[in-house]
Structure 1
Amino acid sequence: MKTLFSLIQKSAQSKKNLWLLNRLMNHQVRFNKPHKFQVIKISENQVQTFAPYHKKNFNHVRGIHACALATAGELSAGLSLMYHFSPEKYRVILANLTIDYHYQAKKDVTATTKFSVVEKEAIAKTLEEQKKTMHTLVTEVKDSDHQLVATVKSTWQIKAWRDVNTKL
């Protein structure tokens, strides 16, 4: 977990580390590998993930499947939180996922999650006062023509590992 947090942080400054993060994600999250999801940008206030328009991601009408769009959005939001809240110290777990589909994806897509310092401070303050917090992030998924394809709203439970009752 410590290595993952460090790698996420370093990926903001280094293409080599970003490449390594993508390799690790494809190896550890085996579901992602055939779909060729990629993290293309990580910074303090934004994460972008990429889902290609290719056969493994198609639905029955040769558009990108709804589940692939949802996964790209979830991945972007989750990494955004993990950039700020170390998975060594905090359990960041998806609690709810809703998606509004606006346009059929017939091209590569990019999912963008923005995360502000104000949000980070609010979460940190809540965690000081309570054992856990819920936070919703909005991710926009756009095709290569910048057409809004979907809006993914993911709600995450963030909790210090010391306060987690279930065992791994």
Structure 2
Amino acid sequence: MKQLNSFINKAKKSSFDRWILNRILWRAIPFNSPHKFEITSITEDEVIIKMPYIRKNMNHIKGLHACGLATLCEYACGLQLMNVLGTTDYRIIMKELHMDYHFQGKTDVNVNFRFDTKDAESINSELMFNDAVFKNFELPVYDLQNNLVCTATVNWQIKKWDKVKTKV
């Protein structure tokens, strides 16, 4: 996990390193690999990820598959949370995912998720008084014609690693 932060930081400065990060994540998360999600931009404040309009992402009526869109949103949100919070101090687990579908995706789509150090400070403040924090984040997904394809609401549990209990 420590290496992930290093790869993310390099990808912020170089398109070649972003290309490498995409390939590493395709390999490290084999479930997402067929989707070919592509991080097109990653900064301290936001991540933009593209879901290509390819056969493996289509449903039976040649639109983008609902589950692929949900996975895209979870992926973008989780990646940016790890980008800002880091992987060594916090454990994040998705608690709930709610999707609203508005328009059939028939082109590539993009999700843009903003989460910055100010948001992280708010979580740190809450973790001073609680073992875990639950946060909802909203992620709109747009197609190339700027149509709102869907909106995800993702609820994450965020804990410091020293508060995680793995044994009964």
- How far did residue 140 of structure 1 move? 1.1
Match of 1:51 in 2: 51
Unaligned residue ranges in structure 2 (runs of 5+): none
Q: Is residue 21 from structure 1 mapped to residue 21 from structure 2 by the alignment?
A: yes
2:134 corresponding residue in structure 1:
134
Q: State the alpha-carbon separation in 1 of the partners of residues 159 and 123 from structure 2.
A: 10
Deviation at 1:156, TM superposition (A): 0.8
- Percent sequence identity over matched residues? 40
Q: Which segment drifts farther, 116-125 or 75-84?
A: 116-125
How far residue 9 of structure 1 moved from its aligned partner, in angstroms, is: 2.5
Q: Any conservation in 2 of the 1:11–1:17 contact (CA below 8 Å)?
A: yes
Tell me, which stretches of 5 or more residues in structure 1 are unaligned?
Answer: none
* Correspondence for 1:33: 33
On the 8 A contact 2:84/2:117 being kept in 1, the answer is no
Specify the SS of the correspondent of 1:39: strand
Alpha-carbon shift at residue 127 of structure 1 (Å):
1.6
| SS at structure 1 position matched to 2:40 | strand
Aligned amino acid, residue 53 of structure 2: Y
Instruction: Note the C-alpha offset of 1:51.
Output: 0.6
Q: What SS class does the counterpart of residue 93 from structure 1 fall into?
A: strand
Distance 1:123 1:6 in 2: 23
For 1:34, the aligned partner's letter is P
Q: In structure 1, how many angstroms separate the alpha carbons of the residues matched to 2:125 and 2:81?
A: 15
Q: Which residue of 2 aligns with 1:9?
A: 9
Matched length:
167
Superposition CA RMSD, Å: 1.3
Structure 2 Cα separation of the partners of residues 115 and 32 of structure 1: 22
Contact 1:11 1:21 in 2 (8 A): yes
